[in-house]
Structure 1
Amino acid sequence: MSVLLVIATVIAVGELLSWLADSIEWGGETLPSPNINDILQANYKPEECDEKMRLQCQQILQDYFKEPIDAPLYQRIDEGMRGMDVEQKKRLLRDITIKASEVMNVELNNIIFTDDTCMGCYSAADNTIMFSNLYIAQDVCNVEIVKTVFHELKHAVQFKAIGRDGNVWGYSMGTLVAWANNYQDYISSSWDPEGYITQPIEVDSFGFECSVIPQPGLSSLNVNVA
């Protein structure tokens, strides 16, 4: 049974897709105040397709950030981007986003850069990913802005997966229903930081970005296939 039929008792199928496309715009703003490591350890449950995507995305980053060869990936990213000007970083982010979208099997209509106070977001209304010039300009945000690529692309994956015949990855029905229900009742970080990070689509997106680029304090994240 299609996941859309599962949730049709709440909103008619046609109305659901229209409502989602018109009204949802979310993204990986700054890290919320709750302890993200504890939350992900308890709640992030990647599936087999997530593990495959993780390895492919890490390979993309390994190709871009080769040195120092014995350094962890987050350090290579930080050092590789340090000192780049904003335009150089934007070109790099665009290239990584395009390549990552291919291995994650999503097509974007656009990638834009604006002077937004949100680090990045994915808009389902126009299938666009946005990155903030304000964060790109700060070397202290190098790793987080690259992690945002994978966070926002994971939102694009989620949105496609709950659509009719969109689950090309083979996510379980339980995951699809949780995502679809979350889209109907999304919690903004400005309203409730803990509710924001613990809701299914954000746990999944934060978990995925942290599995692609492990960092101290997050490196023990369990990324085994659930």
Structure 2
Amino acid sequence: MAVRFLISVLIISLVSFTHAYDPDPLQDFCVAVNDAEAKVFVNGKICKDPNMVSADDFLFRGLKMPGNTSNPVGSRVTFATVDQFPGLNTLGISLVRIDYAPYGLNAPHVHPRAAEILTVVEGTLYAGFVTTNPIDPNVKNKLFAKTLYPGDVFVFPKGLIHFQLNLGKNNALAFASLSSQNPGVITIANAVFGSNPPINIDVLTKAFQVDANVIKYIQGKF
């Protein structure tokens, strides 16, 4: 009886795990196409008629040019997800280019639907992620961080807060692969302080344990 129960638990666990990521495709490809009249969606996108697919559908040239880092954080992420690159549909992968100005920051954020593997091409980055809340309220969230150099690779587990900071006086460049065609991104500061409509200030003052004027000041930045 115990063996049957254990087998049942393992089967349920495997089924749950397989549904935690993008589903496997059941055809060679499904190039996404915008068609308001179509009714069939695969992974949230409509499949282009296979007879109309060409090699161009599997080519994306958008990561060749540096991104504009003239912004308050000094970084720019250029995406190659299914929205920019229709040939990725149903393949469960995507790619981003990240450009950093000197001391530029890719601010703390999460990808709710993907793990990420980062490769440094140029510059020196300080990169890390923070674990989920421990069960023991007296234990703090743990930070895993390293200084990365060209050729170094660092992985960020799915759904965890992570970041990269350019430590150098020159521009830096990295590419990152993600385990979803549409990984999503939630930039923590933007979401908390720049939501529309704003989060009730009483919520934020209690959460961050600061005066309301501090919260108003930060909200004004977003």
Using structure 2 for the length normalisation, give the TM-score. Answer: 0.24
Structure with greater Cα Rg: 2
Larger helix percent: 1
Larger strand percent: 2
